[in-house]
């Protein structure tokens, strides 16, 4: 899945695999750093970064994750509106 920049919806910023989703999808119970995943968000395992300085939608302060560059071999939450399937 491709992640797009919320401030520039045409800019693909990363690529990864969806791991879990928020309660708005009917599943519920999925967690991100011991907290519930917000409605209509995906937890994405990031594998490729295209733009390093894009701010995360949900920064994780305890592990100093604020920008995409902080996500090497990690995951993040991304709103479903800015995630698109790419073949």
Do residues 46 and 75 make contact, with C-beta atoms less than 8 angstroms apart? Answer: yes
Domain of 11?
2-84
Give the model confidence (pLDDT) of 15-26 as tens digits.
Answer: 999 988 776 655
Which tokens go with 33?
Answer: 């750093």
How remote is the C-alpha of 32 from its chain's centroid? 11
pLDDT number for residue 2: 96
Give CA–CA dist 50/82, Å, rounded. Answer: 15
Give CA–CA dist 75/44, Å, rounded. Answer: 5
Give the model confidence (pLDDT) of 27-85 as tens digits.
Answer: 556 778 778 888 888 999 999 999 999 999 988 888 888 999 998 888 899 999 999 99
Q: Domain tally for the chain?
A: 1
């Amino acid at each position: 899945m491709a992640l797009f920049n919320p401030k520039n919806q045409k800019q693909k910023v990363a690529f990864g695999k969806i791991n879990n989703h928020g309660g708005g999808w009917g599943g519920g119970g999925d967690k991100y750093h011991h907290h519930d995943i917000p409605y209509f968000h995906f937890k994405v395992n990031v594998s490729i970064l295209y733009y390093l300085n894009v701010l995360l939608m949900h920064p994780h302060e305890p592990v100093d994750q604020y920008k995409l560059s902080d996500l090497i071999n990690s995951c993040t939450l991304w709103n479903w509106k800015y995630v698109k399937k790419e073949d």
